[in-house]
Amino acid sequence: MNAIDFFCGGGGMTCGLLDAQINVLFGIDSNPACQNTYEHNNEIPYLNMNIQDVTVNILREQSPLVDDIDELLLVGCAPCQPFSILNPRNPNEHISVNLLNEFGRFVREIHPAHILIENVASIGRRGQEVLDLFRNMLIAEGYLFDDGVINAKEYGVPQNRRRYILIGSRRFVPHIPNPTHGEDLLPYRTVYDAIHDYPPIMAGEENMEIPNHRAAGISARNLERMEHTPHDGGSRMDWPRELWLECHQDFSGHSDVYGRMSWNQVSPTLTSKCFSLSNGRFGHPEQNRAISLREAAALQTFNDDYIFEGSLMEIGKQIGNAVPVRLAEVLGGYILHEHENI
């Protein structure tokens, strides 16, 4: 089976599909900062274009296998920001709301055998109209599909990451794969499982022997706050009052910011700022710093030989926005198995 990975970013979905033995023809994304990471790790072409400027003929120029539609999987993980509950704006005001339907344009014109969609869990609420248009298009084009919200921790990812998944096919009746981890199944993979082996580093330091094992610097005041944050799950609520931020003096919400992860639990959902103490519970369970880029990548189930290129901010986005590699492998493996057993 062949695949095209739309909105491929730094390559989490592509990497997982390759692990599932699916031949990814190329990735497409409009962010040039991701190209080196994607191409150097996956050895697959990266088409740096806005999807609105891409045509089927351009895809054919990339590979003649695009026309082998009975062996083709189209994957679309459109940018999720407009549908995220963290985005206070009206999703209909965001330019990205049309990207799912732009992806649908290729489904209509190419008519691939299979389709895979991943997005934030809240798309069903904040993007209901956009999602309904896409699903109605699939029905009109003769596709069967199954969709719903899953949690990546139930598929071997050491992270609490709820995501909307849609699997569509015109060759078999799809079902979202059953969880493999959880109660009466394999135990969840934990933060300890994922990152305990990495050597200690200080905030602002980088271990040159392990690619991307680099931690963001923090101020002296925030270092003092981390020193007062109990190991293994402590939060800013444990600080002495004089260390509280002014914005928190009369507000008890967002208690996760500046908090530490817990060794024996899955991590919280990683975001594009997962290397920053002030943007979530991204503190190392013991060391006085946020998790490193390499540790974040491990929580997204990238292997250590997957090397990210770019600035701290760019790499944070590549990691935080990625589809966890293990989840992509499970979904791709399911589609390939069903395809081969038709």
Domains in the chain: boundaries: 2-181+321-340
Residue 265 CA to residue 271 CA, distance in Å, equals 18
Residue 261: its pLDDT value, please? Answer: 98
Which residues, including other chains, have CB under 8 Å from residue 208's CB and lie 6 or more apart? none
Residue 241: its pLDDT value, please? Answer: 81
Which of the following CATH numbers is that of domain 2-181+321-340: 3.90.105.10, 3.40.50.150, 3.40.50.2300, 3.40.50.300? 3.40.50.150
Residue 125 CA to residue 164 CA, distance in Å, equals 11
Average confidence (pLDDT) over 26-49: 98
pLDDT tens-digit map of 132-191: 999 999 999 999 999 999 999 999 999 999 999 999 999 999 999 999 999 999 999 999
Strands 46-48 and 162-169: unpaired
Q: How many CB atoms lie within 10 A of CB 247?
A: 8
Residue 85 CA to residue 285 CA, distance in Å, equals 27
Q: Do 277 and 291 touch, CB atoms closer than 8 A?
A: no
Q: Catalytic one among 15, 34, 77, 80?
A: 80
Residue 84: its pLDDT value, please? Answer: 42
Residue 108: its pLDDT value, please? Answer: 97
Q: Cα Rg for the chain, rounded, in angstroms?
A: 21
Residue 283: its pLDDT value, please? Answer: 97
Residue carrying the six token digits 């730094």: 10
> Catalytic: 80?
yes
Average confidence (pLDDT) over 45-55: 96
Q: Is the pTM for the entire model greater than 0.75?
A: yes
- Classify 310 as helix, strand or coil: coil
